[in-house]
Amino acid sequence: MYDVIVAGAGPGGASAAYYLGQAGLSVLILEKEDLPRYKACGGGVSIRTLEKYFPFSFDPVIESRARSITYCLGGRAVQIPLQKPSLVMVMRERFDAHILRHARAEVVTRSAVRKVIQTPDRVIVETQDGRTFAARYLIGADGANSQTARSAGLRRQKVTAAAVEAEVPVPPAAALRHCSSPVFIFGEVRQGYAWIFPKSGCLSVGVAALKPNQGEIRAAMERIAERHHIPLSSVRLRGHPIPLHLRREPVAAGRVLLVGDAAGLADPLSGEGIRMAIKSARLASAAILKGRPDLYSAWVETQIGSGLRQVLPLAWLFYRFPLLCHLLGERNPFMTEAFMDMLSDEAGYPQLFLRSMATLPVFLLTEAGGAFLRLSGRPDLGERFRSRVYGGR
């Protein structure tokens, strides 16, 4: 009999185990695979988010640190330096294991959830390998296809996007081109984007789309890899669903609470999920420590869900008019800084939208002034003018 069983050892499950174990509760983690295990994921996360939610360092598992962001659309590309470099790249198997290493929890591997039974004072978990465990509470952190959610009668109308990703070993010259500047590529797939993220000794290459046609993602991957001289022939492409948050819905039932992808908390615009997994794990842990799991769904709604739904109009605009967004949004250095603040959990999409509107006149005037000076035969003065306005960006 445990205080809490956590299904899944990803960022959400490992974080919940950490918070609950630190509070003195007995925690059991049930993980369906051997650990550490590979997870298909771009692996971009803000170090400021990690510093906010954990007291220990993540330096041992950081693969690279972004000094700039590169945006591509068709033949256009723009590189925006970061004023406050905070975006780091991680490999999920090492990142998840790092959090888990700090958790005071018992871990049982090769033990996937098969069935969940609730009684008035406990949750009984039956696993695929025939074992049975009991606890006062159960946290479902078992991903987009959560068996915990199905067994508890939650997330019955989930909507998922699709992504394909590969970790590609590359020659030193290719690695050097991307070593400190993650690349976001638009226009290669409908209602989606591609990425090239630098890791230690390899590049993470992926494509995600809201509603892809059959073969569309793989074809986009091959085009992007060829254009950037990234060899895909010897690597395995791995697909995974991205559970989108499109509507308000309960993420808890009785003594069962869902976190991260199991709760459908991925960002509808970017597909980002690590930050929401950690944040929801903290909320679930707080509800359990108060003995009030009934509060959890409302907390998720006010602190995560409502913000994710506010991005839906922006996502529609972004994917419907990519050229306009590239020219007026991605090229605006102020927008990239606002986006980094959002990834750091220091701002939300409403603030991002307001900052985009507030800085758009300054951006347009600055670009027009820089273009005028370049056309007047003073390109050096034009660049100094732009740099002065953008504060070194």
Which pLDDT belongs to residue 384?
Answer: 57
Which pLDDT belongs to residue 330?
Answer: 78
More confident residue, 277 or 232: 277
192-199, strands of its sheet edge to edge: 76-81, 68-73, 183-186, 192-199, 202-209, 159-169, 238-244
**Is a pLDDT exceeding 80 seen at residue 389?**
no
Tell me what the mean pLDDT of segment 10-35 comes to.
Answer: 96
Confidence of residue 17 (pLDDT cuts 50, 70, 90): very high
Which pLDDT belongs to residue 289?
Answer: 97
Tell me what the mean pLDDT of segment 102-115 comes to.
Answer: 95
Backbone angles phi, psi at 386, to 5 degrees: -65, -45
DSSP assignment, residue 345? T
CA angle 240, 244, 248 (to 5 degrees): 150
Which pLDDT belongs to residue 15?
Answer: 98
Beta strands in 84-147 (DSSP E): 87-90, 106-108, 113-119, 122-127, 132-140
Backbone angles phi, psi at 339, to 5 degrees: -65, -40
Q: Token digits for 76?
A: 């256009």
Which pLDDT belongs to residue 388?
Answer: 56
* Three-state SS at 206: strand
Which pLDDT belongs to residue 211?
Answer: 83
Which pLDDT belongs to residue 191?
Answer: 86
Q: Quick one: the chain helix, strand, coil %, rounded to 5?
A: 40, 25, 35
Most trustworthy range by pLDDT among 114-123, 225-234, 328-337? 114-123
**Is a pLDDT exceeding 60 seen at residue 188?**
yes
Tell me what the mean pLDDT of segment 2-24 comes to.
Answer: 97
Torsion sign across C-alpha atoms 251, 297, 314, 322 = negative
Show me where the domains of the chain are located.
2-43+91-157+249-310, 159-242, 320-390
Confidence of residue 137 (pLDDT cuts 50, 70, 90): very high
Tell me what the mean pLDDT of segment 281-286 comes to.
Answer: 98
* Three-state SS at 108: strand
Which pLDDT belongs to residue 352?
Answer: 74
pTM, full prediction: 0.89
Contact of 271 with 212, CB cutoff 8 Å:
no
Tens of pLDDT, residue by residue over 329-383, are 777 888 888 888 888 888 777 777 777 778 777 767 776 766 655 667 665 655 5
Tell me what the mean pLDDT of segment 169-185 comes to.
Answer: 81
CATH of domain 159-242: 3.30.9.10
Most trustworthy range by pLDDT among 51-55, 68-72, 197-201, 245-249? 51-55
Which pLDDT belongs to residue 128?
Answer: 93
Confidence of residue 16 (pLDDT cuts 50, 70, 90): very high
Which pLDDT belongs to residue 280?
Answer: 97
Can you name the residues that pair with 161 across neighbouring β-strands? 242
> Is it true that domain 2-43+91-157+249-310 has CATH number 3.50.50.60?
yes
CA–CA dist 130, 112 (Å, integer): 10
Tell me what the mean pLDDT of segment 196-225 comes to.
Answer: 88
